[in-house]
Structure 1
Amino acid sequence: MRAFVVEKIEDKKFISSIKDIDIPKIEKDEVLVKALYSSLNFKDALSSIGNKGVTKVFPHITGIDVSGEVVESNNSNFKKGDKVVATGYDLGMNTDGGHQEYVKIPASWLIKIPKGLDEKEIMTFGTAGLTAALSINELQENSITSGKVLVTGATGGVGSIAVTILAKLGYEVVTITGKKDKIEYLKSLGANEVILREDFDISNKKPMLSEVYDAVVDTVGGEYLAHALKQIKHSGVATCCGLTSSHELNTNVFPFILRGVRLIGIDSVEIPLEKKEKIWEKIAKEYKNSNLEKLTSQITLDEIKDAYEKILTSKATGRYLVKID
């Protein structure tokens, strides 16, 4: 079978290519899935260049998510022909991932695709969509069911999907981007307002600012999250799921003790399978929307390497859907 393989050729030097390899053999409580679709995520791109924080075992096949059909099962919960999806846990990190024609996956990582989605649609959302949906679910569960929501990193995978879901649900969506040429793109996804990065005054050192946003969906971390926290209204919520700006958060306690702001971390990797199932059901129903087609570029295994370069140099927009041939 064909697979996108990353190899370590010497210390700190890695190469990647499409290779022909053997179809894996499954053991107890494992399932062999004929991969139909996967996607590309920032974590995948880091794995492709040997980032030790993501992957330590080489040679390695990238792809932290995959959808497809069961062709062989050593677990009673899955049978041949089941349509399934896997995201997170160790898939695509130190366990070979979804960028191959057949994937060996522990049954405890697998979910049957819910009614209302097919293999292509669920990977159009993928890990990024699951993360965005988890963020929005936290807003709803913390009484933020309407109002003005700021989305940072809005042209990225998580940010773009968050914009489409929030717009469908009737929120007033404000986005931040550093790409002037993407203003109309973001508005086409449902953004009511687009703020350019240079106009979002992160240099302002005041401990508190005027109340502007009911909630924030942050995908970048760093100074952008810190600045946004100062502008959240009383009893508002910020979710945090990314660190492309910085992993550090230099802030103060005033938003939390004077306005009752809540900061909620979002993890889509190690959350219980039951919670993933619940969120995928929401995606299949109230979160599903047609705007995803505007932000999705479909590619093949052979095009992954070029797409990774765009992701790593911040030239990518929206989502890459990988059709596994």
Structure 2
Amino acid sequence: MTVNSDRSDVVLDIERLRTRIETPRGVVHPVNDVSLQCRRGRTLAVVGESGSGKSMTFMSVLGLLPAGGTIESGTVRYQGREIDPTDKKAARQLRGKAIGIIFQDALAGLNPSFTVGQQIADVVRHHEGVSRAKAKEKAIETLGLVGIPNPRERADYYPHQLSGGMRQRVMIAMGVALRPQVLVADEPTTALDVTVQAQIMELLDGLRRELGMSLVIITHDLGVVARYAEEVAVMYGGRVVEHGEARQVLKNTVHPYTEALLRSSPRPDADVGELSPIPGQPPNLLAVPSGCSFHPRCHRANGRPECSRDIPLLRSLSPESQLTACHHAEEMALQKVSK
């Protein structure tokens, strides 16, 4: 079965999460009835265009919503215990110790006024209450764990003294310093060159295996999904529209949005110039289209009334298939079989 119904290995369980943000222009729901599970030792990729709700889902769980943001409904469980992400104290305890997070902009995420060793040590001291000396040793140990050469010397460097790739390794070190059970990597290779991107992804995959943690990769790069993820959740307009084993979703997608993402992504087996951009723009969350929010951009909708009228439920076409939220998923599946 594509999405395992057995929850014995689920570390983080997000169920029907709905987030509300009040803006000067009105109320938006960037996360709308989202359910995801992070399983021990496995990698979940969450993909979609900007504004699809990928990052905001996990910012909600970790109590990092922007001003005006609240959780309207839903349940979050960590290792089977229900967590109230609206409780600031509970959210702080969850961050770092249970769930580590790596933000996409390492330069913005590090304080230029403190050495990288100090910044990692502060995370350790805050959660573990150890001495400065012990916290610094833990920081040096973690810098070595993420592949920074001469970690004792580099611990005394300031962020500007390190390359972009090294700064990203420091961010990863901060994320894993407390040996969390779940590590969320939000676009971890943004602004890095291709060679360094590959090194960072290999590092994250190695840490997942070495520390036995669950890894969540928030990305728009389907190449990363194909290489590193075991499960993938595709999001659009604040909802999960397709979810299952990564290999199956990428090979036999039954949602038009995932299909469009694949067509617009570079592939090593495709000729130059074969990319097909997705027409239109992602939905304005202040005025989300009725029915399926993808229908204004979907060639399969083609004026069908149910697409603009009814929100499709996330469902499985068979016990072996992935979950999909499309009124015409069966039609897509039959067309793939007939080819």
Q: Shorter-chain TM-score: which interval?
A: under 0.3
More RCO (CA 8 Å, sep 6+):
2
> TM-score scaled by structure 2?
0.24
**More helix, by proportion:** 2
> TM-score scaled by structure 1?
0.24
- Structure number with larger C-alpha Rg: 2
**More strand, by proportion:** 1
